[in-house]
């Protein structure tokens, strides 16, 4: 079977139940550099960009950040891939053309900074995951992070390949300044609060690690915008069955198929230093303040997702859809949203939180997606502070007991410490702190000691929460029940 590529795309019959790019992808020039070439980017920003092209050159050059697999799969396909929606009222499958270059961040002959310095590039987008920002609990760039220290120490050396997001961005912005490439906008698309501020912070802090006297920080303040955005689309890792579906639909071999739910949302702070794609033509919302949308998304949808992932994995459920069919788990997720999260939120005027909660659970129950509890459970030490600990702190400050949010945190603790489900079957645990916290397995018979071992981890729990006896008692209670 022939491989999907620009030449085999051109030979595809029109009129089938397969949507093809309505422009010549071979002629589309790069205007966006993306960091974090993963499935979510290709199901979200790449789709908004393609549907908002408007005849302009907003092709995407995307770089992997860790694994080169996505670049290895996409480069032979000229960046083309099949997108398949699964769930209620799915759109027809489509071949997406907006990704024009797929490159390896660690090893491509054209390093990230070179591509960012291209004057035709006016936007950088990021999906590097929460841990990719290398933030300290203070919300600043973690100066103890070894890769950050190394990138800063070797900054500007001709043979140095920056591996941190901050290093890649600052090196690219410096080249942009030196070559007079003009202003640019850096658009974070990660599940972080104030994600634009977060990337601005790591860029600013990284500059602070460099030799003094450089005009770069001022150039960045004058020429670079860092708008915040809120992104939403459930995008499970693709399976062999998904690739087989793509082959059946297109008649071509596609090693980079993406599957996703029909729903998508992108709320973007309208603050740009240079031209941008007409993403609003593809349904994006431009606004002056994303915070109301952001808090709802992170503290309700993502918090409920994590709750279902940990309780579901411990109960032996492989997928989110199976777990949310389990009444106690669905109840815990619903109560987390309604009782603990909702009172901390001021939603946008037109958004009804009860309807939002019901819609979230309906989306999670989509049996066609195969979204695994293991995928959502990954990186909990970076996700929980964003999704659950802010809610917990706010409820404690209000004199309330955030029991449902505490249950989710306790489930994460047991998931990390026991690493088996209720039937004794091993669980997949992927977390930056997995090795640090492996020692907690010895504490499973002593819930108070287990909880203390997690609460004392300053990379996750601020002192305010470590010292709160109400939370500690809730965590011990829930941990004891989950372990019994």
Residues 306-325 that bind ligand CS2 (CB under 6 A): none
The residues in 335-364 that bind ligand CS2, with binding defined as CB under 6 A, are none
Nearest-10 crossing angle of helices 303-315, 403-418: 50
Which is nearer to ligand CS2, 100 or 383 (by Cβ)? 383
Residue 280 or 379 having the CB closest to ligand CS2: 379
The SS3 of residue 163 is: coil
Q: Which of 191, 319, 366, 440 binds ligand CS2 (CB under 6 A)?
A: 191
Among 52, 37, 46, CA closest to 280: 52
Mark 335-353 as b/e (b = at least 16 C-beta within 10 Å). bbbebbbbebbeeeeeeeb
Distances (CA, A) of 249 to 18, 85, 137, 229: 7, 13, 47, 34
Q: Which stretch binds ligand CS2 (CB under 6 A): 148-156, 180-188, 232-240, 347-355?
A: 232-240
User: Among 96-104, 375-383, 392-400, 408-416, which window interacts with ligand CS2 (CB under 6 A)?
Assistant: 375-383
Q: Which of 234, 256, 284, 427 binds ligand CS2 (CB under 6 A)?
A: 234
Between 129 and 181, name the residue whose CB sits nearer to ligand CS2: 129
Closest-approach residue to ligand CS2 (CB): 305
**Shortest Å distance, C-beta 185 to ligand CS2:** 22
Residue 148 engages ligand CS2 in binding (rule: CB under 6 A): no
Residue 206 or 404 having the CB closest to ligand CS2: 404
Structure tokens at 312: 């579901």
| Cβ nearer to ligand CS2, comparing 301 with 417 | 301
Measured CA to CA, the distance from residue 99 to residue 240 in angstroms comes to 22
- Looking only at the bridges linking them, the beta strands covering 123-126 and 184-188 are parallel
Cα(324)–Cα(333) distance, integer angstroms: 8
**DSSP-derived secondary structure letter, 135:** B
Any contact of residue 86 with ligand CS2 (CB under 6 A)? Answer: no
Nearer CB in complex with ligand CS2: 173/460: 460
Under the binding rule (CB under 6 A), the answer on residue 376 touching ligand CS2 is yes
If the CB atoms of residues 43 and 152 are measured against ligand CS2, the closer one turns out to be 43
Q: How far apart are CA 117 and CA 469, in angstroms?
A: 52
List 232, 294, 340, 394, residue binding ligand CS2 (CB under 6 A) = 232
Is residue 146 helix, strand or coil? helix
CA separation (Å) from 254 to 13, 368, 484?
Answer: 17, 20, 47
Cβ at position 376, least distance to ligand CS2 in Å: 4
Report in angstroms how near the CB of residue 233 gets to ligand CS2 at its nearest: 5
Chosen residue from 5, 57, 375, 420 binding ligand CS2 by CB under 6 A: 375
Which CB atom, from 104 or from 129, has the smaller least distance to ligand CS2?
129
Cα dihedral: 77, 82, 83, 88 (round 10): -170
- Cβ proximity to ligand CS2: between 114 and 379 the closer is 379
- Is the distance from CB of 384 to CB of 306 less than 8 angstroms? yes
What phi, psi does 56 have (nearest 5°)?
A: -100, 165
Closest distance to ligand CS2 from the beta carbon of 163 (Å): 23
450/231 Cα distance (integer angstroms):
35
Contacting residue, 122, 233, 317, 335, with ligand CS2 by CB under 6 A: 233
48 versus 155: smaller Cβ distance to ligand CS2:
48
In this structure, what are the phi and psi dihedrals at residue 309, rounded to the nearest 5 degrees?
Answer: -65, -50
Outline where 100-230 has alpha helix (H). Answer: 112-116, 146-153, 165-179, 195-207, 216-223
Closest distance of CB 83 from ligand CS2, Å: 16
CB of 317 to ligand CS2, least distance (A): 15
- Of residues 51 and 232, the one with the C-beta less far from ligand CS2: 232
Helix (H, G, I), strand (E, B) or coil at 60: strand
Whole-angstrom distance, CA of residue 172 vs CA of residue 1:
40
Structure tokens at 197: 């501020």
Tokens describing residue 284: 């994006």
Which residue's CB is nearer to ligand CS2, number 206 or number 364?
364
Q: How many of the chain's residues bind ligand CS2 (CB under 6 A)?
A: 9
User: What number of other Cβ atoms are within 10 A of residue 225's Cβ?
Assistant: 18
Q: Indicate the residue among 263 and 271 with the shorter CB distance to ligand CS2.
A: 263
Least distance CB 371 / ligand CS2 (angstroms): 7
Pairing of strands 81-85, 94-96: antiparallel
Site map (CB under 6 A) of ligand CS2, residues 278-307, x = contact: ------------------------x--x--
Q: In angstroms, what CA-CA distances link 228 with 62, 66, 116, 144, 341?
A: 20, 24, 19, 26, 22
Helix, strand, or coil (residue 382): helix
Angle in degrees, CA 219, 64, 164, rounded to 5: 45
Q: How far is the CB of 12 from ligand CS2 (least distance, A)?
A: 31
| Least CB distance to ligand CS2 at residue 18 (A) | 26
In whole angstroms, the minimum distance from the beta carbon of 95 to ligand CS2 comes to 23
> What residues make contact with ligand CS2 under the rule CB under 6 A?
191, 232-234, 302, 305, 375-376, 383
């Amino acid at each position: 079977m022939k491989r999907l590529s620009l030449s085999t795309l051109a030979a595809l019959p029109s009129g089938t139940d397969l949507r093809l790019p309505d422009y010549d992808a071979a002629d589309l020039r790069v205007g966006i550099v993306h960091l974090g070439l993963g499935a979510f980017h290709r199901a979200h920003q790449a789709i908004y960009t393609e549907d908002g092209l408007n005849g302009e050159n907003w092709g995407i050059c995307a770089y992997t950040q860790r694994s080169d697999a996505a670049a290895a799969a996409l480069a032979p396909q000229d960046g083309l891939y099949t997108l398949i929606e699964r769930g209620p009222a799915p759109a027809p499958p489509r071949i997406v053309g907006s990704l024009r270059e797929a490159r390896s961040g660690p090893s491509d002959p054209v390093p990230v900074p070179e591509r960012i310095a291209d004057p035709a590039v006016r936007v950088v987008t990021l999906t590097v995951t929460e841990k990719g920002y290398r933030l300290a609990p203070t919300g600043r760039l973690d100066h103890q992070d070894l890769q950050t220290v190394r990138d800063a120490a070797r900054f500007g050396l001709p043979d140095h390949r920056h591996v941190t997001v901050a290093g890649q961005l600052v090196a690219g912005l410096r080249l942009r300044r030196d070559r007079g490439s003009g202003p640019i906008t850096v658009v974070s698309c990660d599940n972080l609060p104030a994600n634009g501020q977060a990337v601005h912070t790591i860029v600013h802090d990284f500059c602070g690690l460099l030799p003094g006297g450089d005009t770069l920080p001022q150039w960045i303040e004058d020429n670079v915008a860092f708008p915040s955005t809120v992104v939403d689309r459930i995008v499970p890792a693709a399976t062999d069955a998904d690739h087989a579906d793509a082959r059946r639909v297109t008649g071509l071999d596609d090693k980079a198929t993406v599957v996703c739910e029909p729903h998508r949302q992108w709320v973007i702070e309208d603050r740009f230093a240079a031209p941008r794609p007409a993403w609003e033509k593809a349904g994006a919302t431009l606004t002056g303040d994303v915070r109301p949308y952001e808090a709802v998304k992170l503290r309700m949808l993502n918090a409920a997702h994590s709750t279902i992932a940990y309780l579901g994995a411990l109960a032996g459920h492989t997928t989110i859809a199976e777990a949310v069919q389990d009444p106690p788990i669905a109840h815990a997720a619903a109560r987390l949203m309604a009782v603990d999260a909702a009172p901390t939120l001021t939603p946008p005027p037109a958004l009804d939180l009860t309807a939002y909660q019901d819609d979230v659970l309906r989306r999670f129950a989509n049996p066609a997606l195969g979204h695994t509890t293991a995928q959502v459970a990954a990186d909990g030490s970076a996700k929980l502070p964003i999704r659950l600990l802010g809610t917990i702190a706010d409820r404690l400050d209000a004199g309330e007991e955030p029991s449902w949010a505490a249950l989710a945190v306790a489930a994460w603790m047991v998931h990390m410490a026991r690493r088996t489900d209720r039937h004794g079957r091993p669980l997949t645990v992927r977390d930056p702190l997995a090795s640090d916290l492996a020692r907690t397995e010895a504490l499973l018979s002593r819930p108070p000691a287990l909880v203390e071992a997690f609460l004392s981890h300053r990379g996750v729990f601020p002192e305010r929460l470590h010292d709160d006896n109400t939370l500690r008692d809730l965590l011990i209670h829930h941990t004891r029940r989950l372990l019994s």
